[in-house]
Amino acid sequence: MTLRAGGLAALVLVDRGHRELPFRPDYVGVNIPTARDDRVVLEVKEKEGQDRVYVIRAGGLKSRPAAPGTAPAKKTARAAGKKPKGKGSAK
């Protein structure tokens, strides 16, 4: 007997926009456009005392952190059953 999954959903906390694989996440916590050599730092309340995300730019500058609770996880167009818009969208 072979069991097969009915589908697969991908979730990311921080979407940097860099695609190396031929699929996109279905659920995104926050979208932060970055350069490939930038570093994204995610801090969680249970460990660091507050929830926040910030970027350390390649030159060593720290960008302003995203305020907690300002970017709740959202369904992408694909997860909502809609066809993605724009150039270069996955088919």
| Structure-token pair, residue 57 | 């730019």
- Domain assignment present for residue 36? The answer is yes
Give pLDDT tens digits for 28-79. 988 888 888 998 888 989 999 998 888 888 876 666 555 555 444 555 555 5
The overall pTM is greater than 0.95? no
Q: Which domain holds residue 44?
A: 11-75
The answer to whether residue 6 sits within a structural domain is no
The total number of structural domains that make up the chain: 1
* 21 within a domain of the structure (yes/no): yes
